[in-house]
Amino acid sequence: MVFSSEKNEDIKLVINDTEIEKVRSCKYLDIYIDDELNWHVHVDYIFNKLLKFTGIFYKLRAKLSYYWLKSIYFAFVYPHISLLYGIEIYANTYISYLHKLMKLNNKILRIIQNQPFRSHMNDLYTEFSLLPLDRLHIQQLHVLVFKCLFYNQLVPSAFHSYFVYNHDIHNYATITRSDLHILFLTALLEKEE
């Protein structure tokens, strides 16, 4: 797979006189990685996997108690939506790409909770003690930063130097001295000089 926003059809990889087939996406640890890194393939995969649950929950709503519906949601739907080990990656795309997945999750929550179409989304998520997909993504990024700063034994060693404080970079008495230093901006500035 060649990662690029432009279509490079002329790139060929040959190992031991055997040409390696170029693919547009591949599945790794249950996450579909596409060649443009826009996560359309993965979002479509999750959407299609969860779409069947709308009909299932409509039918089960009349037969099972609220407790069991909630348990089934957390067993079969939520793990695919959250994918907590990968949400930092795949939800780091435009919110418009995630929109149909968020709408489907809202619909499933509305069905389970037997709420009308115009019910407020915050109420649906509060009832299940959940965060919408975009906020869950931000929370998991915060957890990653926290682990890197205070419990770096919980993350791979490649992440140990991802986040540093401004006072680790310079000794100036600025108001942002105790804030996190954004390394990628420093790298861009150094590149321009």
* DSSP letter string, 64-113: S-HHHHHHHIIIIIHHHHH-TTTHHHHTSS-HHHHHHHHHHHHHHHHHHT
Residue closest to 105 by CA, chosen among 87, 86, 81: 81
Alpha-carbon dihedral of residues 79, 84, 90, 94, nearest 10 degrees? 90
Identity at 29, one-letter amino acid code: L
Q: Which two tokens stand for residue 73?
A: 């949601």
150: left (phi over 0), alpha (psi -120 to 50) or beta: alpha
Q: Which two tokens stand for residue 155?
A: 């993350």
Is residue 187 pLDDT above 50, yes or no? Answer: no
Alpha-carbon distances, residue 41 vs 22, 26, 77, 81, 176 (angstroms)? 16, 9, 18, 14, 40
What residues does each domain of the chain span? 37-140, 163-193
**pLDDT tens string 29-62:** 888 888 888 888 888 888 998 899 999 999 999 8
The model's pTM: 0.74
85 or 12: which leads in pLDDT: 12
Q: What are phi and psi of 112, to 5 degrees?
A: -60, -45
Q: Are 83 and 118 in contact (CB under 8 A)?
A: no
**Contact partners, residue 154, CB within 8 Å, separation at least 6:** 147
pLDDT band at 84 (very low <50, low <70, confident <90, very high): low
**pLDDT tens string 115-173:** 888 888 888 888 888 888 888 888 888 888 888 888 888 888 888 877 888 888 878 88
3-state secondary structure of 140: helix
